[in-house]
């Protein structure tokens, strides 16, 4: 039996037996602290409370409202409003989750405490980190947090989403929009290409002489053939993708001159959407659960960190094998983590997880397609069991149905995480 | 039944090949209800599956899995399920 396999089977149980069980055996309610109120964290908090109603579950989230990245491209394209993608935590609070609007600034895995910016220290039996992503601001010369006010990333939904939208509204007809896509791995693999479609929808109807250039260090990307088919069907000649082989890797940006320098040459943009390279959210680094590349290795059966016992990591921050960094993936990982945590806190064997992902992309109203898969845990990581993408050349009614399903998926995940 | 023999074998092989243990129907079902949510979720187009007749669900899922039933997305998802899981999911949703 390999070390990985041994850990896979016994890691969680050992930690439970050594640390959690005695306290709970004394009759105290188990304490679960969840950091980050996105799809992963909200779902984890809700489901731990559901599986273990006696547990004291605290969700730490900086913001009063959750503005979702899914569907934020539709705000950028002008077919949805910010209100559609903005949600509160009142419903999960009513379910018994204690929602604390503060920021986790320190984790002590030995004392099992989380310290908040506001000064409070919370003790936990099990900690869930769902911190999402942080940007590596200085990865490309010329870009910075300040530059994001000129060349918005709009990769965390909120003011940045509106900034990009406003820039598109202010752009003259005949202008050039440049989208700079990051290298793998990054949040929402189909996102930059869905965004290109949504921007094209706005431009086609308002500024039809304009064009969109996508600069990309990659040689292929999620649902590529479906996106190319859609661009050709809906926006012929408007969107140009410059991939890795064509020299699409960006080497420098200049926010003053509004230029992007790539391996193939330099282009000037009227609107530049620069999506920076990413790593796990800062608290994961502070807690010591990240690897040398900045992401969090986990035990696929429990989502428990392989670096620090007692801490589970879900969502974009974790290394989830074949699963992409998506809202659905985070939601699915969080449910399984919650089931594992509930079992471990009761001194039971964690149940076998079942993971799913579905990512819809809408590139025009009534034109949607998807990638989906089911996954399972193996000692080597999370592996895909089966799945795939929508068919190419599908009839218009299928694209229309999948666009409607995207909206239903959104309603469903909001309910599952926050309802 | 001939039509479903191959996908079942394939699913079993895939799972065995990657040393993947079988999750319970409850664990799998939690993924289903994200899209096929309860009425509180407010979904409009995706069919509800709570209290769905078990026999009909088995028929639907095996049909999707074999590619014999028209689908946009469920054909891709159903390929992950074994015969036993389909039976267990059908029983799970029928009793809700």
pLDDT for A24 beyond 80: no
pLDDT in tens, A267-323: 999 999 999 999 999 999 999 999 999 999 999 999 999 999 999 999 999 999 999
- Closest of A346, A350, A327 to residue A337, by C-alpha: A350
* Helix (H), strand (E) at residue B7: helix B2-17
Q: For A217, left (φ over 0), alpha (ψ -120 to 50), or beta?
A: alpha
Within-domain flag for A340: no
Q: Which residue is associated with the tokens 């099992």?
A: A112
Looking at residue A11, what is its pLDDT? 42
Q: How far is CA A407 from the centre of its chain?
A: 18
Q: Which two tokens stand for residue A331?
A: 């939601």
Nearest to B72 among A339, A386, A405 (CB): A405
Nearest to B41 among A328, A401, A419 (CB): A419
CA-only gyration radius of chain B, Å: 13
Total of domains in chain A: 1
DSSP reduced 3-state for A296: strand
Within-domain flag for A238: yes
- Tally of residues, chain B: 96
pLDDT in tens, A217-247: 999 999 999 999 999 999 999 999 999 999 9
Domains of chain B in start order, with CATH, are 23-94 (1.10.760.10)
Within-domain flag for A86: no
- Closest of A114, A68, A85, A133 to residue A281, by C-alpha: A133
pLDDT for A84 beyond 90: yes
pLDDT for A7 beyond 70: no
The contact set of A with B (CB < 8 A) is: 328, 331-332, 335-336, 339, 351-356, 358, 370, 372-374, 376-380, 383, 385-390, 394, 398, 401-402, 404-405, 407-409, 411-416, 419
For the residues A318-346, what does the mean pLDDT come to?
Answer: 98
Q: How far is B29 from chain A (nearest CA, A)?
A: 9
For the residues B76-80, what does the mean pLDDT come to?
Answer: 98
String of b and e for A300-336 (b: at least 16 CB within 10 Å)? Answer: bbbbbbbbbbbbbbbbbbbbbbbbbbbbbbbbbbbbb
Looking at residue A373, what is its pLDDT? 98
Q: Do B73 and A370 form a contact (C-beta atoms < 8 A)?
A: yes
Question: What spatial distance separates the first Cα and last Cα of chain A, rounded to whole Å?
Answer: 43
Q: What is the mean pLDDT of chain A?
A: 95
Nearest to B31 among A356, A379, A383 (CB): A356
pLDDT in tens, A170-218: 999 999 999 999 999 999 999 999 999 999 999 999 999 999 999 999 9
Put simply, the answer to whether A416 touches B34 (Cβ < 8 Å) is yes
* CA distances (Å), origin A137, targets A52, A153, A252, A274, A321: 40, 11, 12, 11, 25
Q: How far is CA A193 from the centre of its chain?
A: 16
Give CA torsion, residues A387, A390, A392, A394, to 10 deg.
Answer: 140
Within 10 Å of residue A10's Cβ, how many Cβ atoms? 12
* H helix runs in A265-395, sequence order: 282-287, 327-345
pLDDT in tens, A137-172: 999 999 999 999 999 999 999 999 999 999 999 999
**How far is it, in rounded angstroms, from Cα A177 to Cα A247?**
18
| CA dihedral sign, ordered A250, A251, A255, A257 | negative
pLDDT in tens, B39-74: 899 999 999 999 999 999 999 999 999 999 999 999
SS3 content of chain B, % helix, strand, coil (to 5): 60, 0, 40
Sheet holding A113-116, edge to edge: A104-108, A113-116, A121-123
Confidence band, pLDDT 50/70/90 cuts, at residue B11: very low
Q: Which residue is associated with the tokens 């990512």?
A: A359
pLDDT for A134 beyond 80: yes
Within-domain flag for A301: no
Put simply, the answer to whether A376 touches B20 (Cβ < 8 Å) is yes
Looking at residue B96, what is its pLDDT? 85
Domain range for A250: 147-274
pTM attached to this predicted model: 0.92
User: Closest-CA residue in chain B for A383?
Assistant: B18
Looking at residue A27, what is its pLDDT? 78
Within-domain flag for A195: yes
Looking at residue B20, what is its pLDDT? 77
Put simply, the answer to whether B35 touches A408 (Cβ < 8 Å) is yes
Q: Do A84 and A71 form a contact (C-beta atoms < 8 A)?
A: yes
String of b and e for A74-87 (b: at least 16 CB within 10 Å)? Answer: bbbbbbbebeebeb
Looking at residue A253, what is its pLDDT? 98
CA-only gyration radius of chain A, Å: 22
Looking at residue B21, what is its pLDDT? 81
> Is the bond leading into B47 cis (omega within 30 degrees of zero)?
no
Looking at residue A375, what is its pLDDT? 98
Looking at residue A25, what is its pLDDT? 65
Within-domain flag for A109: no
Give CA torsion, residues A299, A303, A307, A308, to 10 deg.
Answer: -130
Q: How far is B81 from chain A (nearest CA, A)?
A: 9
Q: Do A197 and A361 form a contact (C-beta atoms < 8 A)?
A: yes
Within-domain flag for A30: no
**How far is it, in rounded angstroms, from Cα B38 to Cα B48?**
7
DSSP reduced 3-state for A94: helix
Q: Which two tokens stand for residue A149?
A: 């006010």
What's A222's domain CATH number? 3.50.50.60
pLDDT for B6 beyond 70: no
Q: For A142, left (φ over 0), alpha (ψ -120 to 50), or beta?
A: left
For the residues A51-67, what does the mean pLDDT come to?
Answer: 98
For the residues A336-350, what does the mean pLDDT come to?
Answer: 97
Put simply, the answer to whether A415 touches B37 (Cβ < 8 Å) is yes
pLDDT in tens, A85-102: 999 999 999 999 999 999
Confidence band, pLDDT 50/70/90 cuts, at residue B3: very low
């Amino acid at each position: 039996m390999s070390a990985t396999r041994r850990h896979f089977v016994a890691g969680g149980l050992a930690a439970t037996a050594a640390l959690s069980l005695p306290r709970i055996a004394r009759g105290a309610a188990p304490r679960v602290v969840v950091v980050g109120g996105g799809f992963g964290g909200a779902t984890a908090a809700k489901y731990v409370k559901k599986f273990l109603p006696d547990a004291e579950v605290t969700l730490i989230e900086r913001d009063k409202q959750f503005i979702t990245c899914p569907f934020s491209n539709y705000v950028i394209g002008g077919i949805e409003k910010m209100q559609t993608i903005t949600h509160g935590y009142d419903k999960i609070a009513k379910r018994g989750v204690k929602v604390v609007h503060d920021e986790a600034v320190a984790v002590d895995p030995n004392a099992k405490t989380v310290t908040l910016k506001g000064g409070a220290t919370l003790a936990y039996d099990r900690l869930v980190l769902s911190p999402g992503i942080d940007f590596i601001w200085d990865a490309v010369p010329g870009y910075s947090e300040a530059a994001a006010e000129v060349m918005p990333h709009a990769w965390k939904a909120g003011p940045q989403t509106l900034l990009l939208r406003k820039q598109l509204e202010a752009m003259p007809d005949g202008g050039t929009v440049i989208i700079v896509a990051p290298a793998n791995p990054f949040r929402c693999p189909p996102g930059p290409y869905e965004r290109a479609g949504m921007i094209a929808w706005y431009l086609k109807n308002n500024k039809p002489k304009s064009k969109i250039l996508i600069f990309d260090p990659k040689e292929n990307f999620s649902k590529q053939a479906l996106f190319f088919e859609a661009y050709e069907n809906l926006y012929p000649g408007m969107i140009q993708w410059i991939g890795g082989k064509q020299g699409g890797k960006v080497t420098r940006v200049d926010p003053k001159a509004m230029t992007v320098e790539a391996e193939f040459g330099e282009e000037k943009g009227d609107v530049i959407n620069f999506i920076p390279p990413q790593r796990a959210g800062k608290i994961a680094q502070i807690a010591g659960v990240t690897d040398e590349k900045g992401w969090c290795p986990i035990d696929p059966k429990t989502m428990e960190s392989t670096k620090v016992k007692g801490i589970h990591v879900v969502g974009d921050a974790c290394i989830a094998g074949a699963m992409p960094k998506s809202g659905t993936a985070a939601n699915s990982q969080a449910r399984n983590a919650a089931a594992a945590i509930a079992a471990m806190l009761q001194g039971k064997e964690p149940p076998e997880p079942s993971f799913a992902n579905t990512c819809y992309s809408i590139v025009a109203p009534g034109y949607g397609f998807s990638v989906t898969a089911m996954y399972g845990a193996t000692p080597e990581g999370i592996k895909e069991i089966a799945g795939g993408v929508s068919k190419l050349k599908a009839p218009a009614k299928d694209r229309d149905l999948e666009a409607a399903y995207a909206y239903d998926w959104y309603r469903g995940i909001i309910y599952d995480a926050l309802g | 039944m001939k039509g479903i023999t191959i996908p079942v074998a394939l699913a079993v092989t895939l799972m065995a090949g990657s040393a993947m243990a079988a999750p319970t129907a409850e664990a799998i079902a939690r993924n289903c209800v994200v899209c096929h949510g309860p009425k509180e979720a407010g979904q409009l187009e995706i069919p509800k599956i709570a209290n769905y007749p078990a026999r009909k669900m088995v028929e639907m899922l095996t049909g999707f899995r074999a590619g014999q039933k028209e689908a946009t997305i469920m054909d891709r998802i159903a390929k992950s399920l074994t015969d036993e899981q389909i039976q267990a999911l059908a029983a799970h949703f029928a009793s809700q």
